[in-house]
Structure 1
Amino acid sequence: MTTKVIIFDFDGTIADTVDALVSIANNLAVEFSYAPITPEEFLILRNLTSREIFKYSGIPLFKIPFLLKKVKKELKNKIPELKPIPGIPETLIELKDNGSRLGIVTSNSKGNVQEFLKVNNLDNLFEFVHPGVTIFGKTQIINNVLRQKQIKTEEVIYVGDETRDIEASKKANVKVCSVTWGFNSEEALIKENPDFLIHHPQELVKIVKNFG
């Protein structure tokens, strides 16, 4: 039987960071010359792709890498208070016990992810944490991981909460499972046609069992 490799996004998929990230974004609004995100605007943003969000915000493209770097730095201070998505720890343990290889591909920093995993006693579950500086896509990061770890595309399911996760997975020729508890809305995710769509982490166990 082929070993399944489950690669997770981090923010909004494993870690409940959406509220923290919105708070940080609002604190940086003046410095980067964009309007703070109101609750009403957040509902609009959840239905947009990454490219549409930056266009909507009016942030010049050259400022985006600096903004992302600052956001990661600010998030580091909030790690001790952040929690996993309810049901994620149990699901990760079950997947691991069933023989799956688990990894993380993230645009967050490796230090932030590792600290979160350690604080929440999840650090022994993942074979790798692979960060990458990316604005719109993670295709190259996924491809690098598959090459380095000698993983075949047909063995992989990528799990993420954003439309860009779907786009990146399709370009990398791996199956993608979208989760509805993170940043992008269910409607936005469905438009991008993921291979699987789940509303609770436990649903992933059944998908993996029937996969391949």
Structure 2
Amino acid sequence: MPASPPAYRLAIFDLDGTLADSLGWFLGAINLMAGRHRFRRVEAHEVDMLRGQGARQILAHVGLPLWKLPAVTADMRRLMSRDIATIRLFPGVDDALAQLDASGMALALATSNSRANAERILGPQNSARFRHFACGSALFGKRGKYEKLLHQAGVRAAEAVSIGDEIRDAEAARACGLDFAAVAWGYTLPDALQATAPRALLHDMDELLAFLLGQKPASAGVHASAMR
């Protein structure tokens, strides 16, 4: 019996926290940025509390004004470029992207990271599986990136889905009329993501493939608790 066609024509992936396991790096980098750009450090006991909040709440907590964001973001990208060898993809990403690409679904990447960093983290084989890129977006610029990717792909919002790990991903997707699938292994805690009413809350790569391709999840997937 032939396989069913994918549920969507276009899947728009976030990078950090969704495909790339960069939270540990980020927590160290943000405190380095705090010293350079004069905002409050994040203490170890605050991490879980902040992982339950949206980006604007986090910025307010550390006292980082919006006007400083472009300089901080650019500095973070440069720092990640230096540390790129320490950033790894989550287990199962290579196989998941290969299966999605083979299904005929178009893959796109929307990230505030630079394209150079993204391609180095993904590697040449995975990078080649993405047909469209929208990189270097401002922290709150994802709606525009989603709209650009839909236009590039020639796909209606109803035919596309955003896959991400942050509340701002959910908000941008909703503003564009996109379905949003949240991953439970990234920067934001699952309960906070569930509160955004995603189309799906995915706990491992088997669930991601099942959601996007209509497959039955394998009995022994790489669960969110084992992703780090």
TM above 0.5, yes or no, is yes
2:170 is the alignment partner of 1:166: yes
- Taking structure 2 as the reference length, the TM-score comes to 0.87
Q: Provide closer, same or farther for how the CA distance between residues 149 and 4 of structure 1 changes in structure 2, counting only shifts above 3 A.
A: closer
Q: 1:61 and 1:83 mapped to 2: Cα distance?
A: 29
Cα distance in 1 between the residues matched to 2:151 and 2:180: 18
Which ranges in structure 2 are unaligned for 5 or more consecutive residues?
216-228
| Contact preservation (8 Å) 1:137, 1:167 | no
Letter in 2 for 1:103: A
- Distance, in Å, in 1 between the alignment partners of 2:113 and 2:95 is 23
Pick from 149, 172, 190 the counterpart of residue 153 of structure 2.
Answer: 149
Could you state the TM-score of these two structures normalised by the residue count of structure 1? Answer: 0.93
**1:108 aligns to what?**
113
- Give matches, 1:1-212, under 5 Å: 4-118=9-123, 121-210=125-214
Counterpart AA for 1:140: G
In 1, Cα distance between equivalents of 2:146 and 2:81: 24
8 Å contact 2:10–2:105 — kept in the other structure? Answer: yes
Q: SS at 1:104's partner residue?
A: strand
Q: Give the gaps of 5 or more residues in structure 1.
A: none
Q: Secondary structure at the match of 2:169?
A: helix
Is residue 39–residue 64 contact of structure 2 (8 Å, CA) maintained in 1? yes
Cα drift, residue 4 of structure 1 = 2.1
CA distance in 2, matches of 1:101, 1:197: 21
8 Å contact from structure 1 (residues 132, 141) kept in 2: no
Give the letter for the 1:198 counterpart. L
Separation of aligned partners in 2, 1:20 and 1:76: 12
Which structure shows the higher helix fraction? Answer: 2
Cα displacement (A) at 1:68: 0.8
Q: Distance in 2 between matches of 1:202 and 1:8?
A: 16
What's the Cα RMSD here?
Answer: 1.7
* DSSP-derived class of the 1:184 partner: coil
C-alpha contact (below 8 Å) 1:161/1:182 kept by paired residues? yes
Shift of residue 137, structure 1, vs aligned partner: 4.3
Taking every aligned residue pair, what percent have the same amino acid on both sides? Answer: 28
**Is the 8 Å Cα contact of residues 169 and 176 (structure 1) preserved in structure 2?**
yes
CA deviation profile, 1:95-144 (whole Å, cap 9, x unmatched):
1122211110111111110121226x422211122114322241111001
Q: How far apart in 2 are the matches of 1:109 and 1:86?
A: 22
Q: Give the number of aligned pairs.
A: 210
User: Which segment drifts farther, 132-141 or 199-208?
Assistant: 132-141
What secondary structure sits across from 1:124 in the alignment?
Answer: helix
Question: C-alpha separation between the residues in 2 aligned to 1:132 and 1:63?
Answer: 16
Aligned 8 A contact 1:176 1:194 in 2 = yes
Secondary structure of 1:72 counterpart: helix
